Amino acid sequence: MDQAIAIRPRTASTDEDLIGRLRQGDAAAFCALMQRHNQRLFRMARSILRHPSDAEDAVQDAYVLAFTHLDQFREASSVATWLGRIVLNQALRRLRQRDAMTGFDRSDDPPDPTRSAPVILFPGAPQVPATPEEEAARAQIRRVLERAIDELPDKFRLVFVLREIEQLSVEETASWLDIPTETVKTRLHRARRLLGRSLRQQLSPTLIGVFPFAGERCARIVARVLDRLGLPEPPAEG
């Protein structure tokens, strides 16, 4: 666009209003549009690329492409869907380039636990203060979930992220990905099944130690029951 861009502080209630203001040269509208869609578009890109920095680059490329091709936006589709398809194409393009450079399909790589992936907060997570121990446990659970999601095949992982994490409807997901609604349902069903299997495999060794009942707690219960019954405690074994 050759048009001069001016910053005009103003609020907008709809994406279409923001696009209209952007076409008139209002850069503040573009900032608002990005802030509104950043999280969803980032998660979408990351579900394909499985690396946060690659996902950020893909989203940035998509925004630049969208900004320089505003004339291609048609009112028949939503702004979110239009941006989503651009991000999808940019992420897939980067994935192909990355695979071409490495000479093999990175989508089959085992997940790398050393990657600094962003924390995925699931909808409805309680926003209450946690103790350091509770926060450490939650972080560990999130890491397990992220690894399990990253292990899903690309087409299932993308649908899972849009439906379960971003909470898009079946129809919205189908529109974003340009696939039939039945395909969305099938892929989500398979993603859930694969994710459940992966989580069971990862968590099964840990389940043995869940709800430990020994040591101090055991001794405390025994002592309290004996006290309530008026019975003496047996001498310690020596």
Using the structure block, give the residue that is written with the tokens 């093999």: 104
pLDDT for the residue numbered 120: 38
Three-state secondary structure call for residue 180 = coil
- 86 with 132, same domain: the answer is no
**Cα gap 84→176, rounded to integer Å:** 6
**Cα gap 238→67, rounded to integer Å:** 80
Three-state secondary structure call for residue 131 = coil
* Residue 168 domain-assigned (yes or no): yes
Q: Which residues pair with 26 in a beta bridge?
A: 6
Which of 66, 88, 109 delimits the end of a domain?
109
pLDDT for the residue numbered 72: 84
For residue 156, give its domain range.
112-212
Would you place residue 182 in the very low, low, confident or very high pLDDT band (cuts 50, 70, 90)? very high
pLDDT for the residue numbered 5: 45
The strand ranges marked E within the chain are: none
For residue 18, what are its two tokens?
């923001």
- 101 with 120, same domain: the answer is no
**Cα gap 188→80, rounded to integer Å:** 21
* Residue 220 domain-assigned (yes or no): no
Average of per-residue pLDDT across 42-58 = 89
Pick from 56-70, 76-90, 97-111, 156-170: least confident: 97-111
- 33 with 56, same domain: the answer is yes
- 131 with 98, same domain: the answer is no
Residue 232 phi, psi (nearest 5) = -75, 150
- 119 with 105, same domain: the answer is no
Residue 32 phi, psi (nearest 5) = -65, -40
**Cα gap 70→30, rounded to integer Å:** 11
Would you place residue 163 in the very low, low, confident or very high pLDDT band (cuts 50, 70, 90)? very high
Whole-number mean pLDDT of the chain? 77
Is the pLDDT confidence value at 162 over 60? yes
Of 33, 56, 34, nearest to 44 by C-alpha is: 56
Using the structure block, give the residue that is written with the tokens 């239009």: 82
Residue 87, by phi and psi: left (phi above 0), alpha (psi -120 to 50) or beta?
Answer: alpha
Which of 64, 93, 109 delimits the end of a domain?
109
Would you mind telling me the total number of residues written for the chain in this entry?
A: 238
Residue 188's CATH number? 1.10.10.10
Three-state secondary structure call for residue 174 = helix
* Residue 170 domain-assigned (yes or no): yes
- 40 with 77, same domain: the answer is yes
- 104 with 15, same domain: the answer is yes
Residue 51's CATH number? 1.10.1740.10
For residue 218, what are its two tokens?
């055991």
pLDDT for the residue numbered 134: 72
* Residue 178 domain-assigned (yes or no): yes
Contacts with 40 (C-beta within 8 Å, 6 or more apart), sequence order: 80, 84, 166
Note the pLDDT tens digit of each residue in 80-97. 999 999 999 999 999 888
Of 194, 165, 164, 162, nearest to 178 by C-alpha is: 162
Number of structural domains, the chain?
2
Is the pLDDT confidence value at 8 over 70? no
Contact between residue 81 and residue 175 where contact means Cβ atoms under 8 Å apart: yes
Which of 77, 109, 141 delimits the end of a domain?
109
Contact between residue 45 and residue 59 where contact means Cβ atoms under 8 Å apart: yes
Three-state secondary structure call for residue 217 = helix
Pick from 16-30, 103-117, 140-154: least confident: 103-117
- 185 with 161, same domain: the answer is yes
Q: What is the pTM of this model?
A: 0.62
- 165 with 207, same domain: the answer is yes
